[in-house]
Amino acid sequence: MKKITVVYLIIFILMLILPAALMFLLPEDGENTENRELSEFPSFFKEDGGFNEDFTQQLDTYISEHIGLRGLLVEANGALRSKLFGSSSEDDVILGRGGWLFYAQTAADYLNTATITERNAANIGRTLLMMEQYANENGTLFAVAVVPNKNTVYTENMPYNYIPLSGKGNYELVADAISRYGVTAADVLGALKAEDEVLYQRLDSHWDYRGALLGYRTIMDAVGFEHKSYEGMTFEARADWPGDLAKMVYSNAAEPDVQYYPEYDFGYRITSHEKNVEALSLTMKNGSGHGKLLMFRDSFCNTMQEFFAGSFAEAEFSRAYPFPLEKLEGGGYDVCVLEIVERNLINLARRAPIMRAPEAEVSADAAAMGDGDAVFGYEKRGGMAHVYGTVDEKYLDVGYRAYLLVDTADGTYAYEAFPIFEEELLGADGPGDNGFSAYLDTELWDKAEGVRVLIESNEKYYISGAVQPSDIMEE
């Protein structure tokens, strides 16, 4: 009996030692299944020669990322937890019914737990309207397309314990604002709900190519620009797609998802230096296409790009943020599309698009704000002077408008500002809803003697005291 105990003890000790030993014998290749760089072995000393106080913490991270058999252990953990306990081993993934996987960051949207305020939504609506007006003034058609989260469309596959609240989430708040301000928008959710086929992938957070085709058609119908419909297009189903959610849970043991590949020659060629579908900027040309497109997009456009590139003579797909809308200045583009997935709607309240602020006529009498009720900031960006800041909330209703008044020796110039709270520039921890943001010509800013912010709210006007540009400019 004692011999058996000793054998078990030896096996137990070997099981503990083996992963550590293999860490040196079979080192990782530099990245894990999440496609991120693994940490390097920490140094005892800092670059200045002092002792590294974070050495033990960094060493713990290094060991956890490089421990031998780590990949197999991750795979086994994911499989056991999903098969035996019906739960996900990855915090970023929700295990739904029928083996469906959902991105955990969409849970708040599914539960109708808004992470923006009603005023945030109104600010987004006003911003999108200003974007459309700017595009139209430059001879460009504009449309916004909100692509719904997977669990917004296929609610029946979410776990039973996720019960939506009766209130409005980000999607509903923004959709209401888009409608209220009359922004041209593609009803992608409505189009998906009207389809009998399942067009999102079971193990991936995105739609398949058939869903992408539906999205393309819905967007172009909303824009009202001549385009190819790809009627009668056929697809080849192949179980070879590396589902992003499955990869996160099951690592290298993840089964491939089914993808429906279009059987069609789109005829475009990539003209940008970067060729990858995830490139920050991707440009394409097509001799059989018509018109020129500028599309601000996220990962849901990865499978839509081919349909747009097959229809337009020139197409540019941009992942730049904040959106460089100034590209439209002077014309040249026929269509501009802003595509954004539901879970990222909050980003529309965090940064204003880059474009010259539209001139405005303001002649109403305004009540003076108190000292310190308006805060100003400044940065140089895109060859322009970016002036931004905040206004005390007591002056703001839902749907306020903001204007910058620039005082010069030649007179006062008025511009409408985006009602956007520049979260990062203001050093805030979340999206505020009491901001303003405008891009001005540097020539005007160089001769400015003072700048004021004027607020239109509840059919009243409030104006701040003048601030000297030198007091807010960068050194």
151 and 57 assigned to the same domain: no
Q: Is 387 left (phi over 0), alpha (psi -120 to 50) or beta?
A: beta
How are beta strands 93-95 and 101-103 bridged, if at all? antiparallel
pLDDT band at 90 (very low <50, low <70, confident <90, very high): low
What does the alpha-carbon distance between residue 455 and residue 369 come to, in Å, rounded to a whole number?
10
| Secondary structure class of 238 (helix, strand, coil) | strand
Q: Is residue 453 part of a domain?
A: yes
Residue 6: count other Cβ atoms within 10 Å of its Cβ.
10
Q: Is residue 79 part of a domain?
A: no
Q: Amino acid letter at 88?
A: S
What does the alpha-carbon distance between residue 201 and residue 57 come to, in Å, rounded to a whole number?
39
125 and 36 assigned to the same domain: no
Q: What is the chain's alpha carbon radius of gyration, rounded to the nearest angstrom? A: 27
Instruction: Retrieve residue 49's tokens.
Output: 């020669």
CB 422 within 8 A of CB 377: yes
CB 316 within 8 A of CB 310: no
426 and 461 assigned to the same domain: yes
Q: Is residue 95 part of a domain?
A: no
Give the E-state strand segments of 12-150 in sequence order.
93-95, 101-103, 141-147
∠ Cα 22 23 28 (to 5°): 115
Residue-averaged pLDDT of the chain: 89
Question: Residue 114 pLDDT more than 90?
Answer: yes
Domain count of the chain? 3
CA nearest neighbour of 302 among 349, 256, 341, 258? 341
334 and 398 assigned to the same domain: no
290 and 254 assigned to the same domain: yes
* pTM of the model as a whole: 0.83
Q: Is residue 359 part of a domain?
A: no
pLDDT of residue 97: 96
pLDDT of residue 33: 47
Q: Is residue 454 part of a domain?
A: yes
pLDDT band at 217 (very low <50, low <70, confident <90, very high): very high
Helices then strands, each counted (H, E), the chain: 13, 19
pLDDT band at 330 (very low <50, low <70, confident <90, very high): confident
pLDDT of residue 27: 55
Q: Is residue 421 part of a domain?
A: yes
Instruction: For CA atoms 218, 220, 226, 232, give the dihedral sign.
Output: negative
125 and 19 assigned to the same domain: no
pLDDT band at 87 (very low <50, low <70, confident <90, very high): very low
pLDDT of residue 69: 47
309 and 409 assigned to the same domain: no
- Show which of 315, 349, 383 is a domain's final residue: 349
Instruction: Retrieve residue 212's tokens.
Output: 């992408």
pLDDT of residue 363: 75
Q: Measuring CA to CA, how many Å separate 308 from each of 35, 189, 227, 311, 463?
A: 28, 19, 9, 5, 46
Instruction: Retrieve residue 288's tokens.
Output: 């059989």
Q: Which of 49-58, 377-386, 403-412 has the lowest mean pLDDT?
A: 49-58
Per-residue pLDDT of 116-153, as tens digits, reads: 999 999 999 999 999 999 999 999 999 999 999 999 99
Cβ neighbours for 279, distance < 8 A, ≥ 6 positions apart: 272, 317, 319
- Edge-first strand order for the sheet with 292-296 is 185-186, 141-147, 335-341, 292-296, 314-318, 281-286, 268-270
Helices (H), 310-400: none
Instruction: Retrieve residue 155's tokens.
Output: 């609610």
How are beta strands 335-341 and 292-296 bridged, if at all? parallel
Query: By residue range, what is the domain housing residue 24?
Result: 1-43+53-68
Q: Provide the CATH number for the domain around residue 444.
A: 2.60.40
Give 166-192 as a DSSP string.
Answer: SS--HHHHHHHHHHHHT--EE-HHHHH
341 and 429 assigned to the same domain: no
159 and 232 assigned to the same domain: yes
Residue with tokens 């579908």: 277
Question: Residue 473 pLDDT more than 90?
Answer: no
Per-residue pLDDT of 295-315, as tens digits, reads: 999 999 999 999 999 999 999
375 and 462 assigned to the same domain: yes
Say which DSSP state 224 is in: T
269 and 310 assigned to the same domain: yes
Q: Is residue 360 part of a domain?
A: no
CA nearest neighbour of 438 among 397, 377, 394? 377
Q: Is residue 452 part of a domain?
A: yes
440 and 384 assigned to the same domain: yes
